[in-house]
Homo-oligomer: A and B are copies of this chain.
Amino acid sequence: MTPIVESFVLHFGEMGSRWGFNRTVGQMYALLVVNKEPLTANQLAETLNISRGNVSMGIKELMSWQLINTKHVPGDRKEYYQALGSIWDMAIKVFEERRKREVDPTLTMLRDVLLQTPANEQEAYAQEKLHEIHDLLETVTTWSKELQSMSPEKLNTLMKLGSGVGKVLEFKDKVMSSVNSG
């Protein structure tokens, strides 16, 4: 590993735990991202100085995140792995996967709890709060799903617009209301 690659790989390993996967999975992913050529499981193990078994589990994990692909080289029995398409694709995958793991279970739980009848004043207050949390999470989830279905270019336009989006919204409201009233 060259120094540039090494610092990236090590950093990604450390951050890994914050991003929802462990150190070695983070390192493996980082290495695959910056390598033009796909790598074998053994190459990963050797380069990162981790056991072959650990690599096997890490691959399973990255596959479940749909962040890597297998690639077969004709005449070679080994499996080669490479990071998914573009950086945007990867970001969207990570975002989506985290939503599934971090938000969806909570939404399910909240829906269940909100079906129950509050037994007293205190529970009524609690349920009110849970209702607010539920609505917020649902709005955010729906929104993020819709954003994900937009093309990267459009998303980019939207983001670059930044808070200017507020202006556009006001503008739209004005036009809409003048159309409605006129």
- Measured CB to CB, the closest approach of chain B to A26, in angstroms, equals 11
Known: A8-B109, A18-B20, A120-B2. A172 touches B168 (CB 8 A): yes
Q: Mark A110-149, 1 if CB is under 8 A from B, else 0.
A: 1011001011101101110110110010011011001101
B2 touches A87 (CB 8 A): no
Residue among A12, A154, A159 with most chain B CB within 10 A: A159
B-contacting residues, A129-182, CB 8 Å = 129-130, 132-133, 136, 139-140, 142-143, 146-147, 149-150, 154, 156-163, 165-166, 168-169, 171-172
Where the two chains meet, the residues of A that have a C-beta atom closer than 8 Å to any C-beta of B are: 2-5, 7-8, 11-12, 15, 18-20, 33-36, 86-88, 91, 101-102, 105-106, 109-110, 112-113, 116, 118-120, 122-123, 125-127, 129-130, 132-133, 136, 139-140, 142-143, 146-147, 149-150, 154, 156-163, 165-166, 168-169, 171-172
